[in-house]
């Protein structure tokens, strides 16, 4: 009931289940995005598929081996598609050409967990070996953040943030700056970080004994503990 009126159920919507028998490479879907040409891209546990509204077409990333699990997808503002895999590095689909990206100092056998795009078009990658950025046609390691996995996110304004060693840093500046006045107030490990349209940060922690959701607004940290908030890990 809303304002004393009963809301009738919508009759013009329906749900349809798509599975491997419909063309998906695997029923476990781990990432979805839509490029500017209207195609939906579905990353699964066993490869990438493109959906045109009627059928799925498999996109072969590694024709010589088993197709990799797709961890993350980003539809870039220039119309291209960035693909982050489990154990096969980074792929870039641009103007119909699929490229496996060379990363300085590494083979392509690494995991890519998240991809985001900054306001200036720079693309950022969260990997098991630290943070990478793609700028002016080159992959560059963000060595100041160390050589282990750090959480990244981009907000609605294009600012890029990274959670590193208990600090929330603005990454897309000449010198990274801490969002909070005091260092070390945040968890060293987490599963997800997000900044909403009102500038509020949300962090899902990675502690099985004290799993909490953190809200950071105007420098104030609020904790939503397990009995008050979600009952599982937050990504």
Could you tell me if 152 and 162 are in contact, meaning their C-beta atoms sit under 8 angstroms apart?
A: yes
In the structure encoding, which two tokens stand for residue 61, read together?
């990333």
Does position 1 have pLDDT exceeding 50, yes or no? no
Cβ neighbour number for residue 27 with a 10 Å cutoff: 13
- pLDDT tier, 2 (very low <50, low <70, confident <90, very high otherwise): very low
Closest by alpha carbon to 225, among 234, 215, 212? 212
Note the pLDDT tens digit of each residue in 54-113: 999 999 998 777 899 999 999 999 999 999 999 999 999 999 899 999 999 888 889 999
* CA–CA dist 8, 107 (Å, integer): 57
Domains and CATH numbers, the chain: 20-149 (2.130.10.10)
Closest by alpha carbon to 129, among 93, 184, 181, 87? 87
Region 198-214 average pLDDT: 81
Which H/E stretch holds residue 223?
Answer: strand 220-225
């Amino acid at each position: 009931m809303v304002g004393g009126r009963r809301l009738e159920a919508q009759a013009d919507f329906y749900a349809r289940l798509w599975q491997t028998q419909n063309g998906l490479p695997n029923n476990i879907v781990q990432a979805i995005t839509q490029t500017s040409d209207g195609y939906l891209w579905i990353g699964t546990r066993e490869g990438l598929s493109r959906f045109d509204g009627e059928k799925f077409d498999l996109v072969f990333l590694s024709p010589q081996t088993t197709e990799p699990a797709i961890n993350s997808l980003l539809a870039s503002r220039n119309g291209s598609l960035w693909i982050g895999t489990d154990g096969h590095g980074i792929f870039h689909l641009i103007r119909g050409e699929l490229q496996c990206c060379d990363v300085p100092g590494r083979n392509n056998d690494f995991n890519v967990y998240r991809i985001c795009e900054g306001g200036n078009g720079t693309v950022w990658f969260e990997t098991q070996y630290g943070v990478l950025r793609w700028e002016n046609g080159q992959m560059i390691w963000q060595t100041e953040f160390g050589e282990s996995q750090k959480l990244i996110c981009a907000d609605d304004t294009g600012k890029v943030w990274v959670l590193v060693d208990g600090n929330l840093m603005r990454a897309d500046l000449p010198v990274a700056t801490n969002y909070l006045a005091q260092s070390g107030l945040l968890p060293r490990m987490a599963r997800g970080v997000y900044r909403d349209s009102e500038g509020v940060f949300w962090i899902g922690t990675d502690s099985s004994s004290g799993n909490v959701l953190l809200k950071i607004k105007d420098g104030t940290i609020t904790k939503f503990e397990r009995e008050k908030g979600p009952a599982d890990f937050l990504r």
